[in-house]
Amino acid sequence: MKALCALLLLVSTAAFASSPEDDYIASRDKYRTQFKLKDNEQVTAAISKAEEQARAALEKQMQAIIGASGIKGAPARGKLNLDSLISGDMGSIVLDGLVFKLSGDQQVLVTTRPLLTRWLTEQREIWKKSPENGFPADIDAALRTENFYTQALSNDANGTRYADIPVTGGVAMLIARRQDIGPSVPRELTVAVTKAERLYVWSAPANAKVVAIPQCSAIWTAAARNANALNKNGEDNFKAAEKMQTEADAAMRSCYDERVKSQPFFSALVKQARELVERVK
């Protein structure tokens, strides 16, 4: 009887034992509370130093969870993806994981499925009042949205999709980092690969010389000209002009996605994206 009770106690304890991911999330949330600034509170040198120490502690926890990336040429230890723990900083709500820097300005973010699932849920709560900035909770669906690569990766600019790149075993797209709508030449590849209980998110400069497609840029040029004419006719036309430009931006990128397949550099992009997928397979 005593042996049975001891066994039941052991099973019960194991059932409620926290995972390394649970411990990390608990620590992270505790620090977030600690560094939640009050109204008009400034970041002092003391706060900055304490925040850096907190991220260093979290980095050690994350390194214990992730370990090595398993990618040839990557450093033995990755760096915490979170840039900040201070409330209001965009770098405080990026995807929890480790970033491994590689040659040629490449990097790969590595996280686990439990951490990714938690983060997707958090993001839905953060963006519930502006769903246009969010993405689905389903992992496969989220990886196919450009918003994922804006919110997950620590970067000062939005990742805007210009074209999908066909790969097997992952999701790849050609994006431009930009602060506002309008013409831009996409020169970055993002490639997401799920493997067992891990997610790998590559960010790499395009190896090929990517250029603008004049027929697509012309869509924006025409809309911008019409929008400027509207604005000259009074402030009441501002929203109409803004809507015109937003729609033109989407049409311009849709045009690029369609026409890029016939561009001489496209095959090189496909080759590069597929090689990145293979590096984690």
- Supply the pLDDT for residue 1: 54
Q: Confirm whether pTM is higher than 0.75.
A: yes
Six-digit token string for 140? 């496969």
pLDDT of residue 248: 92
pLDDT of residue 233: 65
Residues 6+ apart with CB under 8 A from 237: 230, 231
Task: Round to the nearest angstrom and report the end-to-end CA distance of the chain.
Answer: 50
Helix (H, G, I), strand (E, B) or coil at 253: helix
For 209: left if phi > 0, alpha if psi spans -120 to 50, otherwise beta; the answer is beta
Q: Which two tokens stand for residue 264?
A: 């001489």
Looking at residue 128, its pLDDT comes to 85
Q: What is the pLDDT of residue 11?
A: 43
- The confidence score (pLDDT) of residue 237 equals 78
Residue among 201, 214, 202 nearest 260 (CA): 214
pLDDT of the chain, 281 residues: tens digit per residue: 555 544 444 444 444 568 999 999 999 999 999 999 888 888 999 999 999 999 999 999 999 999 999 999 899 999 999 999 998 888 899 999 999 999 989 999 999 999 999 999 999 888 888 888 888 889 999 999 999 998 998 777 788 999 999 999 999 999 999 988 989 999 999 999 999 899 999 999 999 999 999 999 999 999 888 888 877 766 667 788 888 899 999 999 999 999 999 999 999 999 999 999 999 87
